[in-house]
Structure 1
Amino acid sequence: MTTSTAPDAAARRKRSVKPDNSPLPGQAINTRPMAGDAIYERILSAIMEHRLTPGTKLVEEKLASIFGVNRTRVREVLARLSHEGLLTTIPNRGAFVASPTPDEARAIFAARRILEPALLRHLCEHTSPAHIEQLRAHVAQEAEARERGERRAIIRLSGEFHIRIADLVENPVMSKMMRELASLTCLIIVLYDSPTVPACTHDDHGTIIDAIEQGRTEEAVAAMIGHLHHIEQVLDMSTPPGEEEDLEEMLGMD
């Protein structure tokens, strides 16, 4: 009977080491296959940061390879995103990042002008110093991203500001609705954004927070409606030609 030598044991340990998959900042290191929720968040973030653009095809086999999971898990995530309107599934062709039409875009803004005033009225009635502190901290992050010229972070944080307001209301149904509408709005902006006009001005969110803090409910509502109206008005409702995207690069997995 032979025994393993130290070099043999070292070689086995070397072979057992998995390739480095460096985590994102703040993300825990996990050698297990990525969970469905984590894949969902990765794709959603890529959409909100305009890394995944409308019309991009999401190939199950490619995504399974990128995330180190089986196609069944990927299919479940794609079905969830499709249910939320963020993907369009075409029989015999696959799943594509949604490309809202001008009419769909206007309907989404109309829905936001109904939902967000209701969220603000509730928040104004039940606000606390902690709420204001959280919102101001978020706006501070937006300002820092603008100073650094980080366009993707600016886009994501601008959308998340509205989601944060919904979360403070502590109604899971309304939070889910706001999350979906904010994500769809990001798709609309990347499709129809005028290259010479910013869709989101830097001080609108601060004005809304000021009104909430001072209990000026209708002023907060008016500021929000004006904010949404401005974003919609500066959009150029003409669809640019689609482009092939590198999924691994767009998902930040390279």
Structure 2
Amino acid sequence: MNKTFAETAAGIGPKSIAGGTEIDRIYAHIFDAIVGHRLQPGTHLKEDELCEIYGIGRTRMRTVLSRLAADHVVELVANRGAFVARPTVEEAREVFRARRLLEGDLIRRAAERRDPAMRVALEEHMVCEREARDAGDVSRVIRRCGRYHQVLADQAESPIMARFVRELIARSSLIIAVYETKAPDSCEIDEHRELSDLVLSGKADEAVTLMDRHLRGIEDRLVLDNREAPQSELISSLGTFER
């Protein structure tokens, strides 16, 4: 069975489905390039170039693009082709509004059911997030910051809501690529650490309050106007794909 977006996002892109089919791996490779901001919103995903990069035919490539469209990171436009999705200002505001509602509820649930396994999951993620920051890898930092929210959502034992959050995080990545004026700073990691401490201490109300402030802080970094984002060159953005 093919991997869904939820399964791919949970493992941060290609690595999570290295043992999957070639279609799975191509899907994950493109998905990772999009959420990691290597492929900018609005970029035309030309079938002929993609087929050449990945060494597959148009029919199979269309399967990949259809899966990416189902995950709302690619738009399929009749008679024009596939494009990396470019969220509107209205969609951007709606996405963050939905995230505050869902993630506020999920972090409360997580704080109420804290256990040793949760501590391990959160601590392991914080190590990875700090390593990405110390390495100066901006793309990896962006993915890890989003991944923190996925890890936290998964602790609430509410898989349906957690899956909705994963989709919203992917959309947030596109929104940030278009509208953000500056990259995440160390305060964001500090808040991740504080959120983890509150959850693991069972301080649900404080965790909900901080999550709301944290997400509003991310939204505040955005300049929500109708600017145009530059398109990306496919071959240089996607890099080498090992078949």
Q: 1:109-159, CA deviations, whole angstroms, 9 ceiling, x for partnerless residues?
A: 011011111211221222211211211211121112111211111000001
Contact persistence 2:33–2:39 (CA under 8 A): yes
**Equivalenced residues, count:** 228
Question: For 1:245, what is the secondary structure of its paired residue?
Answer: coil
Go from structure 1 to structure 2 and tell me whether the alpha carbon gap of 1:200 and 1:187 turns closer, same or farther (over 3 Å shift). Answer: farther
**Gapped runs of 5+ residues in structure 1?**
1-23
Structure holding more helix per residue: 2
Q: Distance in 2 between matches of 1:150 and 1:234?
A: 20
- Of 125, 140, 156, the match for 1:153: 140
Match of 1:12 in 2: none
Q: Which runs of 5+ in 2 are unaligned?
A: 1-13
**Which residue pairs with 1:19 in the alignment?**
none
Residue matched to 1:123:
110
Match of 2:174 in 1: 187
1:11-160 alignment runs, 5 A limit = 35-160=22-147
Say whether 1:234 aligns with 2:221: yes
Give the distance between the partners of 1:199 and 1:94, measured in 2 at CA: 39
1:218 and 2:194 aligned: no
- 1:174 to 1:65, Cα distance in 2 relative to 1, 3 A: farther
The residue number in structure 2 matching 1:166 is 153
TM-score (norm 1): 0.81
Decide whether the 8 Å contact of 1:57 with 1:97 is kept in 2. yes
Q: 1:78 to 1:199 in 2, by over 3 A?
A: farther
Q: Distance in 2 between matches of 1:197 and 1:69?
A: 37
TM-score normalised per structure 2: 0.85
Deviation at 1:55, TM superposition (A): 0.6
Q: Identity across aligned pairs (percent)?
A: 39
Q: Which has the larger radius of gyration?
A: 1
The aligned residue for residue 250 of structure 1 is 237
Report the CA distance shift for 1:196/1:204 in structure 2 as closer, same or farther (over 3 A): closer
* Aligned match for 1:178, one of 151, 165, 172: 165
Q: Relative to structure 2, which stretch is displaced further, 226-235 or 238-247? A: 238-247
Separation of aligned partners in 1, 2:93 and 2:186: 15
The verdict on how the C-alpha distance between 1:235 and 1:198 changes in structure 2, with shifts beyond 3 A counting, is farther
Tell me, in whole angstroms, the C-alpha distance in 2 between the residues paired with 1:236 and 1:221: 25
Aligned equivalents of 1:245, 1:85: Cα separation in 2: 18
